[in-house]
Amino acid sequence: MGHPLLDLTNKTAVVIGGTSGIGLALARGLAQAGANVVPTGRRDEQVRAATAEVVALGRRSLAQTCDVTDNGSIERLLQSVRSEFGSVEILVNCAGRTKRMPTLDFPEAEWNAIMETNLYGTLRACRVFGRHMIEKRYGRIINIGSLSSFVGLFEVAAYGASKSAVASLTKTLAIEWAASGVCVNALVPGVLRTNLNAALLDGTERGREFLMRTPMRRFGKIEELAGAAVFLASDAASFLTGHLLVVDGGILASGVNQ
């Protein structure tokens, strides 16, 4: 039996970007903590597979695609989840994309696409679900930051700008909605190997540098983020808002590692 304040039974969580990598691991973690979980993304097949995982864990789910670049699709998702579950208590904004290229060569269209998903997508989902949570006077929003919310990472300027802005947005919404019962925090993963970054990390100098800079000397496992997400989503975090919770094996704490 876990701590009662960490129990998410009878809560409904929507995890956007919940069909792969970190988001899927968070969807599993929230379901294991008792929540009904709606993992979503753009591709129907992936949505169905993620939904089936939630059901296999003994929770309720709902399969509906969502694209955070389209406000209407987020609105439709909220409507479906409300008619199935009544309300949404937890939102995780995990949709993200990245591209590495020298900033001078970076095509503007690609820059805009990264901003559209990582920053404006997070903003759209916060607004659609935040309005509902404010009406209910209860909500937990978890945005996903990055080490690049804090420090510069080589040749990923658009991604870093988007994630720094997500950190800022998290704090601003936290103070705006604090009196309405809606807590807005960010989970900041260190380096975890997923579809997003495998090509950037595997057998590269960049991958080796990350390992050298990580006091734990390894990449994180996606399931190592679940506990932090369950905590932020729970009533145990009732006085916690505007916080960026870094789960990074010590990278941001470290200066020299040998």
* 248 φ, ψ (degrees, to nearest 5): -135, 15
Stretch that binds ligand NDP, among 17-25, 83-91, 203-211, 224-232 (CB under 6 A): 17-25
Tell me the closest approach of the beta carbon of residue 204 to ligand NDP, in angstroms: 14
Beta bridge partners of 16: 40, 93
Among 11, 12, 13, 21, binds ligand NDP (CB under 6 A): 21
Q: Is 43 in the site for ligand NDP (CB under 6 A)?
A: yes
Output 43 or 137, the one with its CB closest to ligand NDP.
43
Stretch that binds ligand NDP, among 3-11, 35-43, 102-110, 208-216 (CB under 6 A): 35-43
- Residue whose tokens read 């930051």: 145
Residue 222 CA to residue 182 CA, distance in Å, equals 26
| Site residues (CB under 6 A) for ligand NDP, limited to 56-85 | 66-69
Output 144 or 237, the one with its CB closest to ligand NDP.
144
Query: For the sheet containing 36-40, what is the strand order?
Result: 36-40, 12-16, 90-93, 139-144, 182-189, 244-247
* 120 φ, ψ (degrees, to nearest 5): -70, -30
Q: Is 144 in the site for ligand NDP (CB under 6 A)?
A: yes
Positions marked active-site:
159
> Helix, strand, or coil here: 220?
strand
Output 46 or 71, the one with its CB closest to ligand NDP.
46
Please state whether 249 falls in left (phi above 0), alpha (psi between -120 and 50) or beta.
left
Among 6, 46, 99, 120, binds ligand NDP (CB under 6 A): 46
Tell me the closest approach of the beta carbon of residue 165 to ligand NDP, in angstroms: 12
Around Cβ 88, how many Cβ atoms within 10 Å? 24
Positive/negative CA dihedral, 57, 59, 60, 64: negative
Q: Is 249 in the site for ligand NDP (CB under 6 A)?
A: no
Q: Is 131 in the site for ligand NDP (CB under 6 A)?
A: no
Around Cβ 236, how many Cβ atoms within 10 Å? 15
Contacting residues toward ligand NDP, per CB under 6 A: 16-17, 19-23, 41-43, 46, 66-69, 94-97, 117, 121, 144, 146, 189, 191-192, 194-197
